[in-house]
Structure 1
Amino acid sequence: MPRLNQFRFYIRSLMLIHNQVNLPSTEGSQCTFIDFSNNNIISNVNYFPEARKGRCHIYSYPSRMQYYSGITNNFPGGLYTYVRVVLLLDEHPFEHEFFLRIQKSFPFMEQLSLINHKSQNRKQSSELNNDNRNLSVIQYSFLNALDIVEVHDDYIEQFLFDTKTHLQNNVLLCINYKSLKRVTHNFTRDATRINCTKINELILFEDFSRYHYLTHRNITIIGIDDDEEFQNTVKVMQIMNMSNDDLNSIF
């Protein structure tokens, strides 16, 4: 194709790791496209030892994709103005600074899903110093759906504390009821009150018996007995009215 001046693409792969020695690397993937002189190529390879899986993203930049899934702490950054749906997951903690990077890279993000069961390290340091004043409040201007079902309680605080996050009005929140009750101190915690008033629709996983300052919102109960994180995430995204074609574009 002698007249082809520019080639836009997005390649995503999932690897199962079983005692492999020579695993692909980000540098190796990048070298594959060394002859693409007219394209800026970004590659990112991540491994999850606990899950025995690996994920690889290779794409041309700037990108026009609307979905970006499987973002870890190794996210290379950049500006993605077309992306509307984001999935974050890692076996290492996400700190406050990471979410700042995500907000800046995806300024028009509308739906965000998060999978991380590791507690934040720097949050503990802030608590010891009893000082959150140095944290920049992250504003999600276009976020209208937030899935934090498969997370450690620290990330619920990350998004519900008004000292860390500013949510817009009319947000759909998907969350585990027991976790929500725990983090909000049985729905009485002042630090979570402001952002909770921004929630227009609340989808609770597992049964619940009582709630207070969320009573005027639209609440749905989802009963799921499934330990597979991705199954829960897919179900949440289906609840968010995402089609099967959209889901196939993400996973």
Structure 2
Amino acid sequence: MSNLEKLDLYITVAQRKTLFDGNDLKMNIINHMPQLNKFTFNICSLSSFYNEINLPSNEHIQKIFSNFNNKQIIYWTDYFPKEKQGYCHIYSYPYQLKYYNMITNNFSGGIFKYVRQVLLYDERPFEHEFFLRIEKLFPFMEELTIRNHEQQINKQFRKLKNENQDLSIVKYPYLKQLDLIQTCIDYYEQFLFDTKMDLAFGVRVYMRYKLAKEVTQNFTRNRTRSNCAKINYVNLCTRIQFAGYSDNFSDGKQVPEYIKDYFPHTQID
């Protein structure tokens, strides 16, 4: 290993007292490889030792990485109070991986032209402006998963001021798959309302039936109709009950015609 000249390192570190930082990188890896001249890395770490007060600041991490003169390094931290976990992500830039997981509202930014799969997670709500930001940062994103059950705050203010029509429309032109299973109804509105989102044609969408029914007003709402018409596959991910029969959309039984009409180009499971 001491003669290694090139190293690509991608690891996740969990269940330790401290977050993985520049000191770990230098003492445990770089110092043991004196011939190393090309080093790309992507390191995520979680620790329950930290709280919002003692979580290392970006300034602290920057100081630790001050000796890494020949590499642009991106680093950011966050804290999840419900899980009582501190989080740190450190990676060399430009980012080379096809996936980027655990993006929160504290995400540091950059342009990620190689990334195709994105996972958004936070215990704070993702507002409309955040999704506009994702559009610019991940221009070739094909798969998007969202895990967030917190209701959007800015949406409530817009309702009071009747400003929804002034929103910039979010567009993910290369999006092929969208997973909304682990979200609340606000994110169904975010992606199905044509005043907020212009879905790409042919996208696969994973939703919960109860929330899909609610946001589309029992599959009659005009505001969600145009985006639903662009979906080519939808998994409603639950056993549902209709008058006269039940169906889970996965055992070959007939889907009600009014739902078929609402998703005219869609395979429904």
| Residues 91, 116 of structure 1: 8 Å contact kept | yes
Unaligned runs of 5+ in 2: 1-32, 243-255
- Kindly provide the amino acid, as one letter, of the partner of residue 115 in structure 2: V
2:57 to 25, 38, 53: 25
Deviation at 1:53, TM superposition (A): 1.9
Matches for 1:36-115 after TM superposition, within 5 Å = 36-115=68-147
Q: Aligned partners of 1:17 and 1:214: how far apart in 2? A: 48
Q: Aligned partners of 1:95 and 1:147: how far apart in 2? A: 17
Counterpart of 1:132 in structure 2 is 164
Q: Aligned partners of 2:118 and 2:203: how far apart in 1? A: 15
Counterpart of 1:191 in structure 2 is 223
Matches for 1:171-190 after TM superposition, within 5 Å = 171-190=203-222
Deviation larger for 44-53 or 1-10: 1-10
Q: Secondary structure at the match of 1:32?
A: helix
Deviation larger for 9-18 or 176-185: 9-18
Q: Aligned partners of 1:66 and 1:7: how far apart in 2? A: 18
Counterpart of 1:117 in structure 2 is 149
Aligned length: 220
Give TM-score scaled by structure 1 length: 0.82
Q: Aligned partners of 1:20 and 1:203: how far apart in 2? A: 38
* Structure ranking higher on relative contact order (CA contacts 8 Å, 6+ apart): 1
Larger Rg: 2
Counterpart of 1:213 in structure 2 is 262
Matches for 1:151-170 after TM superposition, within 5 Å = 151-170=183-202
Deviation at 1:6, TM superposition (A): 4.4
Aligned pair in 2 of structure 1 residues 138, 21: CA closer, same or farther (>3 Å)? closer
Percent identity of equivalent pairs: 51
Q: Aligned partners of 1:166 and 1:215: how far apart in 2? A: 17
Counterpart of 2:29 in structure 1 is none
Deviations along 1:155-202, one digit per CA (max 9) or x if unpaired, are 110111111111111111001110100111101111100110111111
Q: Aligned partners of 1:129 and 1:143: how far apart in 2? A: 32
Unaligned runs of 5+ in 1: 221-251
| Residues 192, 228 of structure 2: 8 Å contact kept | yes
- Kindly provide the amino acid, as one letter, of the partner of residue 111 in structure 1: E
| Residues 30, 42 of structure 1: 8 Å contact kept | no
Q: Aligned partners of 1:159 and 1:33: how far apart in 2? A: 39
Q: Aligned partners of 1:3 and 1:18: how far apart in 2? A: 35
Give the superposed CA RMSD.
2.0
Deviations along 1:215-251, one digit per CA (max 9) or x if unpaired, are 652122xxxxxxxxxxxxxxxxxxxxxxxxxxxxxxx
